[in-house]
Amino acid sequence: MKILVTGGAGFIGSAVIRNILSNTGDKVLNLDKLTYAGNLSSLVEVSSSANYQFAEVDICDRAALEDVFQAFQPDKIMHLAAESHVDRSIDSPGEFVQTNLIGTYNLLEVARAYWEGLSDVRKSDFIFHHISTDEVYGDLDGDDNLFLETTPYAPSSPYSASKAGSDHLVRAWYRTFGLPIVITNCSNNYGPYHFPEKLIPHIILNAIHGKSLPVYGDGSQIRDWLHVEDHARALYKVVTEGEVGETYNIGGHNEKKNIEVVNTVCELLEELAPEKPKGVNLYTDLIEFVKDRPGHDRRYAIDAGKIERELGWVPAETFESGIRKTVQWYFENPEWWHNVLDGSYRLQRMGGKLNE
């Protein structure tokens, strides 16, 4: 197959591409605008593959998208390109509306025109897979209920509202135009190559540099943590075996309070990095509770029973195994995060330009 992955230089997108190129014979075109969150060095282990191509394209640029579709002739679309950081969406909501809504609209229209021109055989195999988030469902009441695929949408932030809007667009293109789609909504991802603005890598890197470990509010917010490589496997299952028009929730079965996550990272650092920065007695001494973010949801938790029953996917990692591997990865790959912290990763361009 030929799979077009949008946002393939991002955290989840790069994991998807590494998984496909390492475990299948499929061809992949990575289409990415290379914003601050796009990092091609996350793909260095597969970028020399003959099955890999890269195109630096903004999904808001419709003409460029049309050129890419005609040149690559994809069989599947895996749409991950999105602005995704809640704090940034509060500061600059317009960027999220532009990329997540207008960009998705452009991609849908280009994909529809391309799909309508395919032969009947290729038409029947084509899938537009839209990758979304559990944050579109909003806040869960209580401690026992879970997000289902049928849970009503109630987004709280500009980020989750823009993703909810993009989900609705994708479903509308299926209902109105017949474009074959599948949608997945995932819980919080973690793992290697995670941009340092996100909670877990931020805590790891701040701690080993002796900086404060900021925790919103009292840290009691609950998230369901999913290892990114488990997520990548699930996404490939859905794009190859999922039923057209369906939605699949993907979760890690690992509900943790934010403060529990931070304490777990600190415990692992005590073991893996016992020589602490000057003046630090325990890593937990660096924890600092800060003013909560506006509209902060209290609890997310996914019921992933549908994807298990229908597609046979279950996560391979527990939180305990996955978080240990994650902390170890950051110790073993300092060059990657050093290049992010000093900004030099923005200068990198590597591998497989389209039509080269």
Classified as helix, coil or strand, 286 is: helix
Active site residue 116: no
**Residue among 103, 105, 250, 246 at smallest CA distance from 180:** 246
Residue 135 annotated to the active site: yes
Which of 135, 167, 229, 297 does the annotation list as catalytic? 135
The span from the CA of 155 to the CA of 26, in Å, is 35
CB atoms within 10 A of CB 237: 18
Tokens for 24, please give them: 């299948």
Can you tell me the distance from the alpha carbon of 343 to that of 41, in angstroms, rounded to the nearest whole number? 13
Q: In this structure, is the dihedral angle defined by the CA atoms of residues 313, 147, 87 and 317, taken in order, positive or negative?
A: negative
Q: Which of 32, 134, 224, 317 is catalytic?
A: 134
DSSP characters over 108-137? HHHHHHHHHTS-HHHHHH-EEEEEEEGGGG
Backbone angles phi, psi at 53, to 5 degrees: -135, 155
Residue 296: strand, helix, or coil = coil
Sign of CA dihedral 131, 21, 125, 58: positive
Q: Which of 52, 105, 159, 190 is catalytic?
A: 159
Please report which helix (H) or strand (E) contains residue 207, including its range. Answer: helix 199-208
Let me know if 285 is a catalytic residue: no
Q: How many CB atoms lie within 10 A of CB 246?
A: 15
Q: Residue 231 corresponds to which amino acid?
A: H
Question: Residue 228: what residue type?
Answer: V
Rounded to whole angstroms, how far apart are CA atoms 62 and 69? 11
Radius of gyration, alpha carbons of the chain: 20
Residues with catalytic function? 134-135, 159
